[in-house]
Chains A and B, each alone.
Chain A
Amino acid sequence: AQKITQTQPGMFVQEKEAVTLDCTYDTSDQSYGLFWYKQPSSGEMIFLIYQGSYDEQNATEGRYSLNFQKARKSANLVISASQLGDSAMYFCAMREGPWNNFNKFYFGSGTKLNVKP
């Protein structure tokens, strides 16, 4: 089974509107971390936001927030007030277990976001 599932290959959003990118995950561990990355066309992976499995509040970082629904195993990224520069690929990722040197990260297939002027 896929560890991370992103069901939206592509999304369009109007500039200045909010958009939600979906992510569901699969793990039997109690301790895990969820991460979102942005990858512009230039290729670098930019870390956006983190949510720990024990965090009771949804994470927020500026215009990014994470809608964490633990029972549903979902960790959707919400981008408020979209900007043209938000156009990029977005990847959801998970680290299973507490941190150690050897943690693999599991990545979803990504969502291509296009922000329209």
Chain B
Amino acid sequence: GAVVSQHPSWVICKSGTSVKIECRSLDFQATTMFWYRQFPKQSLMLMATSNEGSKATYEQGVEKDKFLINHASLTLSTLTVTSAHPEDSSFYICSANSRGDNQPQHFGDGTRLSIL
């Protein structure tokens, strides 16, 4: 089945640091990838849709300048949390659609971000 790889799994860093998270589709081309944020014991909240070769589409309330998304190739999307603060601490998870009505969104394993 389709595999999505997300890196890193864990990040702990100081306030003010920028953090980059990578999401790769390993065995299929992903024109579109999705970035979610999840707080403990809550559902996934869609932050943005990442489109290869064009600007990302952000959901209402998500700061574009805080969460920079780049989708430079058909297999790689990156999310950069700029000047991170403790309130940005969360679980971030990416996904991609593979072709077909019966295909689920395939998820990376997620990144736990802790800002001290």
Contact = CB atoms under 8 A, between A and B. Distances in A.
Nearest to B2: A47
A45 B107 contact: yes
A25 B11 CA distance: 36
Contacts, number: 61
Given A44-B109, A45-B107, A50-B104, A99 B99 contact: yes
A113 B112 CA distance: 22
Contacts of A107: 43-44
A104 B107 contact: no
Interface in B8-58: 31-32, 34, 41-44, 46, 49, 51
B103 interface: yes
The size class of the interface chain B forms with chain A is 20 to 34
B42 A104 contact: no
Interface in B85-116: 91, 93, 95, 97, 99-107, 109-110, 112
B110 A43 contact: yes
Contact of A47 (B41, B51, B104): B104
B41 A112 contact: yes
29 contacts: A31-B101, A33-B102, A43-B93, A43-B109, A43-B110, A43-B112, A44-B107, A45-B44, A45-B110, A47-B104, A50-B102, A89-B41, A93-B104, A93-B105, A99-B99, A99-B100, A99-B103, A101-B31, A101-B32, A101-B97, A102-B32, A102-B49, A102-B97, A103-B97, A104-B49, A107-B44, A108-B43, A109-B42, A109-B43
